Amino acid sequence: MNLVFLGAPGTGKGTQAVRLAKEYNSKHISTGDLLRAEMDKGSELGLRVKDIMARGSLVSDDIINTVIENGLEAGTSYILDGYPRTIAQAEFLDNFFGKMGEKLSFVINFILSEEEIIKRLTGRRKCRKCGKDYNLYFNPSSKGDDCEACGSVLYQRPDDKKEVIINRLKVYNEQTKPLLDYYTKKNILKNIEARRPIDQIFKDLCKVIQD
């Protein structure tokens, strides 16, 4: 089973992808996480994408398709989170899965208002050391600016600043939203209302898969 998690930034795709991957023994691939890991390593790819990501724009289809091409193998079940984000990427993925003898089972579209997205993203914090996620509004650390789990300092992603979020939403509306139509035509799009407790959303996702 191969799934794509679609939706604007901040709709909770990553949180659900991690959980679902555990439940169904799938591999969670977040292209954003892969690119951030390259930046942390200081690799050539990381340096190439750093400014683009900081602005909230998309890295080129060629670069991201190569990342996917190198990261996916036949016979594994994937949850793709944050990929594809353009029609060209979606076409590449169809082609690539076809060559591997795989196919895309479903595309889950996470729906949330822009107002809620902005609140969630501006409040998002992460521990530098252990990676634990927090949110100032919904899930604050009991240790303030420090991580409850390991005591290290929490940080805000540079692209979670308000002005960058506005650009990320614009980019989503212009370049990623057309994928809704693309996958509706293929009859594999499932909508999920994302303004609900994490457990409820997870239950719905499991139901979609079991059905």
Tokens for 28? Answer: 């969670």
Instruction: For residue 35, state whether it binds ligand AMP (rule: CB under 6 A).
Output: yes
User: Least distance (Å) from ligand AMP to the CB of residue 68?
Assistant: 8
Instruction: For residue 168, state whether it binds ligand AMP (rule: CB under 6 A).
Output: yes
Residue from 4, 5, 9, 205 in contact with ligand AMP (CB under 6 A): 9
Q: Which segment (15-23, 51-59, 108-116, 145-153) binds ligand AMP by CB under 6 A?
A: 51-59
**Each residue of 91-109: b (16+ CB within 10 Å) or e?**
ebbeeebeeeebebebbbb
Residue 127: Cβ-neighbour burial (10 angstroms; 0-12, 13-18, 19+): buried
User: Least distance (Å) from ligand AMP to the CB of residue 142?
Assistant: 26
Give catalytic status of residue 13 as yes or no: yes
Omega cis (within 30) before 178:
no
As a whole number of angstroms, the distance between CA 75 and CA 82 comes to 21
Instruction: For residue 32, state whether it binds ligand AMP (rule: CB under 6 A).
Output: yes
- CA 55, 30, 110, 98: dihedral to nearest 10 degrees? 120
Instruction: For residue 3, state whether it binds ligand AMP (rule: CB under 6 A).
Output: no
Place of tokens 């409040």: 123
Give catalytic status of residue 50 as yes or no: no
Instruction: For residue 58, state whether it binds ligand AMP (rule: CB under 6 A).
Output: yes
Q: Which helix (H) or strand (E) holds 54?
A: helix 44-55
Q: Radius of gyration of the chain from Cα atoms?
A: 17
User: Least distance (Å) from ligand AMP to the CB of residue 151?
Assistant: 25
Residue from 17, 38, 82, 194 in contact with ligand AMP (CB under 6 A): 82
Binding site for ligand AMP (CB under 6 A): 9, 31-32, 35, 52-53, 56-59, 64, 82-85, 89, 159, 168
Residues labelled as active-site residues: 13, 85, 124, 157, 168
